[in-house]
A and B are shown apart, each in its own frame.
Chain A
Amino acid sequence: MSTFTLGVSGWGVLAPMGTGADDFGAGLRSGREPAVDAGEVTAAPMPQERVFGLPGFTARDHLGRKGTSFLDRRTALALIAGAQALDDSELVVDDDNRERVGVVLGTSAGSLQSTSDYTRETFEADKPYLVNPILFPNTVLNCAAGQVAIRYGLRGPNTTVAGGATAMLSALRWAYVMMRRGRAEALLVGAVEELTPHQAWTSAALGTADGVPAGEGCAMFMIENAAAMRAAGRRPRAEIRAVELAHTTEGTDTADALAAVIRRVLDTAGPELTVDTVITCDAAGEAPALDRAVGRAAERIAVTPVAGDAPAAAGALQLAVLLAGASGHSRTALITACTPDGAVGAAVVTV
């Protein structure tokens, strides 16, 4: 039985399926086709004609002119989804609590474009050191989380976790560990992936996604102590009843490790809960793990048709899909994810 759980008090999303919770939910219900022509996202050549991108996206359109010209794409996505989540939550961040409100953001490799373009400058400039100092922070993985803190004045623990498909679950687990110990009152938790030629071609070279087009997006969730929310007369939009992480070892495969972590997360969440919906990251090991640990009664929803091949963002969109009510009747959902190298994670979420 859980003695401490996380509540979602607000959320925001940017994805090809929709911008903002309402639009995203409407997109899911309409069965809208989220893929767009690659040319609407970038003028550069892309490995696929259709991508799960945000056509014509600019930071300025969403955030205004001030302070946006140097933002890379993933940072802009995190800022916009973060603003939505802050706006959606009843939690008011002000000088009384801003030192106790922080950020946990999941990523795959930061911005491949920022890092690669900066490297390119060192090769192509007249002198290799004639790079733009203002763009240097964009090369670092934690740039987006830092910018979210700056823009919204969040001075509590600020963390970036790297984990691709499992980054969102790692971020939730991190938030759980921090908040259980009282290190923060609220945390803006999410994950982001940007679609650039760099990302799309790197992803295509892996050839693991069965031709699934590269994607992008971000979802952010305001996470608070669920019991404290209820004590204050506030109803969480969803409750993270348990989140667990693990890794495969020599002699076990992803399905083994995932089945074990699913059993553990169900045990932790409590036997009174019956999973009616599973939201998967659409990896090969998930089906056998679910067959073993959950059975086939629960409906399975893969996030790929919503997210495309966008590992970290897809993890955040798994939770967004649930919150948007895509499965209609779901009361208790299981979210599963794994990386190609064998990191696995699972969460039980009630709505």
Chain B
Amino acid sequence: MVLVAASKPSLEPPSRGARATIPTVTEEQPHPAAPGKEDSLVMTRRVVITGLGPVASTGIGVEAFAGALRAGTSGISQVRSFDTTGFRTHRAGEVHDFDASDHLHRLDPAGWGRSSQFAAAAARLAFTDAGADRAVTDPARLGVCMGTTSGESQVMEELTARWLAGGYPATPTGLARQVPAGRVAEAAALELGAAGPAVTVSTACSASNYALGYAFDAIGAGDVDFMVVGGADSVCRFAHAGFYRLGALAEDHCAPFDRDRTGVLTAEGGVGLYLESLDSARARDARIYCEVLGYGLTCDAQHPTAPDAASVARCMRLAHDDAGIKAEEVDFICAHGTATPANDAAEYTAVRDVFGTAPPPMSSIKSMLGHTMGAASGFSAVAGALAIHSGFLSPTINHHVTDPGMPGLDVVPNRARPAQPRVVQVNGFAFGGNNAISILGAAR
């Protein structure tokens, strides 16, 4: 593969025992951001975030979204996208005022499902926010990676309704076209005119962090120069029912890490982050929100839905090692924080294991947005980038009493807090035990 090498590229393939292994927690690894280092075999470029594109229930576009984070605004409302008659809960985090055509320049939203529309709009917003229009001169150097949990869930529900009414032969061609989940990234690629790779990663609720990590590796190694990453999902009936039956759904509000938490609310949206090399950003004098320092992936391999604290802790350590930081350097954690008893307990246990008795502040934006599924860790990454760039910690709203089983935990209750974190950890966990954690840092 062609390596764009700022330092000496390794001509030797990695072998076991050499640097092919992810270093264990006891091994020292120089900070990837340290200039002039020659230890890593392909990671030769630093990667930064220069554009943000949130399409959220609390705000569309970075300005509105950031304002809502600062204000601790809730995006939860009565469900409008499906009939909740007969359900016991009726609230979700829907993006009511989303009209894709307000945002799209190239893609005709008519042929695309809601999740793809979210992804394309978020990608466009991130691209514009980055001022990338003039920067991307070769479309082949621009790639897309978008995460999703359920792809076009509303399309599949509509198909099901048609089948119930008219049998399978009543399958409308227009709906059938919209089923493939791979279209989530393809929509964003077509909207931006990106001729590089367009990959949809469907690792459920940590998928945006996977996408962020993939871009970190791909840009770092010089496969591409620019990537728009993030995720998208749509509120749907079957997830509303399924989360309820798992005992994971709250009735009114989502209160992560609270003593009386009852669960999450389903939600939707799209999020885009524009990534490029630090050199590229500096050369065009771009505004840099933050640097991506590294990430980690683990799989619980234990249970389809129940989280495993040991595996989550291992993921944190892998992410720290990859970023070349120690745990005590983390200033703020954007939690997965679903407010289910099981998730929050496992997340806290892992944090205690890795950070000790005085962990950094850890808040959950799911308290405001609900669970935006494939977009969730992307929204958390936006909150992390804004924390570093704009100097505030987004709050955990709906907070009354911190779970007494979580001593030492500071959830940034109810109000945003002025602060200047230098390193932020973004947690993402998922069904299938798919843990993904990214580490963001102030660009130096």
CA distance A260 to B15 in the complex (A): 32
Which stretch, A161-169, A281-289, A297-305, A317-325, touches the partner chain B? A161-169
Given A123-B164, A249-B190: A341 in contact with B183 (beta carbons within 8 A) = yes
CA distance A81 to B200 in the complex (A): 23
Give B303's nearest chain A residue, CB to CB: A150
**B237 contacts chain A at the CB level, 8 A cutoff:** yes
**A58 contacts chain B at the CB level, 8 A cutoff:** no
Give A132's nearest chain B residue, CB to CB: B245
**B150 contacts chain A at the CB level, 8 A cutoff:** yes
- B124 to chain A: closest CB distance in Å? 14
Partner of A141 from the list B41, B151, B183, B300 (CB cut-off 8 Å) is B151
Instruction: List which B147-192 residues lie within 8 A (CB) of chain A.
Output: 148-153, 156-157, 159-161, 163-164, 167-169, 171-173, 175-177, 179-184, 186, 189-190
Question: Which of the listed residues B43, B140, B144, B197 has the most CB atoms from chain A within 10 Å of its own CB?
Answer: B197
Instruction: List which B229-280 residues lie within 8 A (CB) of chain A.
Output: 236-247
Which stretch, B125-133, B215-223, B419-427, touches the partner chain A? B215-223
- B232 to chain A: closest CB distance in Å? 12
CA distance A53 to B42 in the complex (A): 43
- A221 to chain B: closest CB distance in Å? 18
Chain B residues with CB under 8 Å of A232's CB are 16
**B2 contacts chain A at the CB level, 8 A cutoff:** yes
Given A119-B238, A139-B239: A180 in contact with B19 (beta carbons within 8 A) = no
CA distance A165 to B423 in the complex (A): 40
Given A136-B246, A201-B171, A247-B189: A228 in contact with B13 (beta carbons within 8 A) = yes
In the bound complex, do residue B199 and residue A129 qualify as a contact, i.e. CB atoms below 8 Å apart? Answer: no
Chain B residues with CB under 8 Å of A343's CB are 182, 186, 189, 198
In the bound complex, do residue A4 and residue B150 qualify as a contact, i.e. CB atoms below 8 Å apart? Answer: no
- A94 to chain B: closest CB distance in Å? 13
Give A197's nearest chain B residue, CB to CB: B168
CA distance A247 to B202 in the complex (A): 19
- A181 to chain B: closest CB distance in Å? 5
Chain A residues with CB under 8 Å of B243's CB are 136
Give B17's nearest chain A residue, CB to CB: A228
Instruction: List which A225-273 residues lie within 8 A (CB) of chain B.
Output: 225-228, 231-232, 242, 244-250, 252, 257, 260, 268
In the bound complex, do residue A118 and residue B199 qualify as a contact, i.e. CB atoms below 8 Å apart? Answer: no
**A19 contacts chain B at the CB level, 8 A cutoff:** no
CA distance A146 to B83 in the complex (A): 32
Chain A residues with CB under 8 Å of B217's CB are 177-178, 180-181, 183
In the bound complex, do residue B433 and residue A139 qualify as a contact, i.e. CB atoms below 8 Å apart? Answer: no
- A63 to chain B: closest CB distance in Å? 16
Given A181-B42, A201-B171, A341-B190: A164 in contact with B301 (beta carbons within 8 A) = no
In the bound complex, do residue A164 and residue B434 qualify as a contact, i.e. CB atoms below 8 Å apart? Answer: no
In the bound complex, do residue A137 and residue B432 qualify as a contact, i.e. CB atoms below 8 Å apart? Answer: yes
- A178 to chain B: closest CB distance in Å? 7
A interface residues, how many (CB within 8 angstroms) = 104
- B210 to chain A: closest CB distance in Å? 6
Given A107-B202, A119-B157, A206-B173: A99 in contact with B241 (beta carbons within 8 A) = no
CA distance A208 to B164 in the complex (A): 25
CA distance A152 to B299 in the complex (A): 12
Chain B residues with CB under 8 Å of A157's CB are 297-299
**B31 contacts chain A at the CB level, 8 A cutoff:** no
**B418 contacts chain A at the CB level, 8 A cutoff:** no
In the bound complex, do residue A142 and residue B186 qualify as a contact, i.e. CB atoms below 8 Å apart? Answer: no
- B143 to chain A: closest CB distance in Å? 8
**A351 contacts chain B at the CB level, 8 A cutoff:** no
Chain A residues with CB under 8 Å of B134's CB are none
B interface residues, how many (CB within 8 angstroms) = 103
- A82 to chain B: closest CB distance in Å? 13
Question: Which of the listed residues B148, B151, B193, B198 has the most CB atoms from chain A within 10 Å of its own CB?
Answer: B198
In the bound complex, do residue B176 and residue A246 qualify as a contact, i.e. CB atoms below 8 Å apart? Answer: no
CA distance A246 to B171 in the complex (A): 31
Chain A residues with CB under 8 Å of B19's CB are 182
Question: Which of the listed residues B149, B176, B236 has the most CB atoms from chain A within 10 Å of its own CB?
Answer: B176
Chain B residues with CB under 8 Å of A127's CB are 86-87
Give A340's nearest chain B residue, CB to CB: B177
Chain A residues with CB under 8 Å of B172's CB are 205
In the bound complex, do residue A129 and residue B21 qualify as a contact, i.e. CB atoms below 8 Å apart? Answer: no
In the bound complex, do residue A156 and residue B179 qualify as a contact, i.e. CB atoms below 8 Å apart? Answer: no
In the bound complex, do residue B177 and residue A206 qualify as a contact, i.e. CB atoms below 8 Å apart? Answer: yes
Chain B residues with CB under 8 Å of A121's CB are 238, 241
CA distance A164 to B178 in the complex (A): 12
- B13 to chain A: closest CB distance in Å? 4
Chain A residues with CB under 8 Å of B193's CB are 249-250
In the bound complex, do residue B432 and residue A149 qualify as a contact, i.e. CB atoms below 8 Å apart? Answer: yes
Chain A residues with CB under 8 Å of B168's CB are 44-45, 47, 197-198, 201
CA distance A166 to B193 in the complex (A): 19
CA distance A166 to B139 in the complex (A): 20
CA distance A82 to B220 in the complex (A): 31
CA distance A158 to B308 in the complex (A): 15
**A277 contacts chain B at the CB level, 8 A cutoff:** no
In the bound complex, do residue A140 and residue B13 qualify as a contact, i.e. CB atoms below 8 Å apart? Answer: no
Chain B residues with CB under 8 Å of A327's CB are none
**B88 contacts chain A at the CB level, 8 A cutoff:** yes
Chain B residues with CB under 8 Å of A350's CB are none
The 28 sampled A-B contact pairs (Cβ below 8 Å) are: A108-B179, A127-B86, A129-B241, A136-B242, A137-B305, A139-B239, A141-B148, A142-B430, A142-B434, A145-B203, A149-B300, A158-B301, A158-B434, A161-B200, A162-B201, A164-B182, A170-B197, A174-B201, A181-B42, A205-B172, A205-B173, A225-B16, A232-B16, A247-B194, A249-B193, A260-B195, A341-B183, A341-B190
Q: Which residues of B contact A (CB under 8 A)?
A: 1-3, 9-16, 19-22, 41-43, 85-88, 106, 139-140, 144, 148-153, 156-157, 159-161, 163-164, 167-169, 171-173, 175-177, 179-184, 186, 189-190, 193-204, 210, 214, 217-218, 221, 223, 236-247, 297-305, 311, 314, 430-434
